[in-house]
Amino acid sequence: MRTRGLILPLAVLTAGLLTAVSAAQPNVGQPVWRPGTPAEPVVVELFTAQGCTGCPDANRVFETLSARPGVIALTYPVDYWDYLGWADTFARPEFTRRQQSYGQALHLRAVSTPQVIIDGRRAASAAREAELTLAVDEEAARRDYPPEIEFRQDGARVGVGSGTVPTGGADVVAVTYVAGSQVVQVGGGDNRGKAVRHVNVVRRIIRLGDWTGRPALFDLPATVSGAESMVILVQGRTDRRILAAAIPD
């Protein structure tokens, strides 16, 4: 069955402290559907860093946004602020590369934090809540005709239906993340001594295969001991537009 939206209510966003700087305890079992959710979700990706001065406030704005019906909110910590004296405990080089690929596709002068990418189509600042909310609303109103995504009952495969492939082709991607909030006590750099809160921190980005515009089945990756949730994205390889997104029940 296809699930067309993701909701991460604030009621389940409780935090744990990281031991020796980080020992976050994620929340699990939160609801993922609510009546009235838009048919097609908006994917909102935050690029942030524990060493970025303005990021803690932006993280809080993003957490509020993550509770909206019809929003899939994902946090990607990046590593390019580590030189300031604090190595981000969640950052991975592939997250930085993902942000850079958006910068190239959207012809941005530079990438920065905190930065939000909406549906792979436009950039916004997480520091300006009203501007971000308006941008999400505008993207929610602009729904194309996405390919259907259907999770098979065996839980091991996902099907993607037919549709129009963008120039340059498209990929089917699984993004695994820890649902809910996590708190990191920062021990160095510009945010030294602060408890920095994150929501829906991404763990892995896994390419499942090409989408050619014809119906196809893809094997799903295993999640780690029930601690990870998963989003499936159909995404343009060159223009980086997210054509469809869904989560399993």
Summarize pLDDT for 65-124 with one digit per residue, the tens.
999 999 999 999 999 999 999 999 999 999 999 999 999 999 999 999 999 999 999 999
Place of tokens 């604090």: 86
Do 13 and 81 contact (CB within 8 A), yes or no? no
pLDDT of residue 36: 38
Domain residue spans in the chain?
10-246
| Alpha carbon distance 17, 152 (integer Å) | 37
Percent pLDDT > 70 in the chain is 84
pLDDT of residue 142: 82
pLDDT of residue 224: 67
Average pLDDT over residues 155-171: 95
Decide: residue 39, CB within 10 A, 0-12 exposed, 13-18 middle, 19+ buried.
exposed
Cis peptide before 114 (omega within 30 of 0): yes
CATH topology of domain 10-246: Glutaredoxin (3.40.30)
Q: How many helices (H) and strands (E) does the chain have?
A: 3, 11
- Name the H helices within the chain: 55-66, 93-105, 129-141
The conformation of residue 247, written as its DSSP 8-state character, comes to B
141 HSE (CA, 13 A, CB side): 6
pLDDT of residue 86: 95
Going by C-alpha positions, the residue among 227, 231, 209 that lies closest to residue 219 is: 209
Average pLDDT over residues 196-218: 97
pLDDT at residue 64 tops 80: yes
pLDDT of residue 39: 65
- Output 154 or 143, whichever has higher pLDDT: 154
> Regarding beta strands 42-48 and 71-77, do their DSSP bridges make them parallel or antiparallel, or are they unpaired?
parallel
pLDDT band at 6 (very low <50, low <70, confident <90, very high): very low
pLDDT of residue 145: 82
Residue range 27-58, pLDDT digits in tens: 333 333 333 344 689 999 999 999 999 999 99
pTM of the full structure = 0.83
pLDDT of residue 126: 85
pLDDT of residue 166: 94
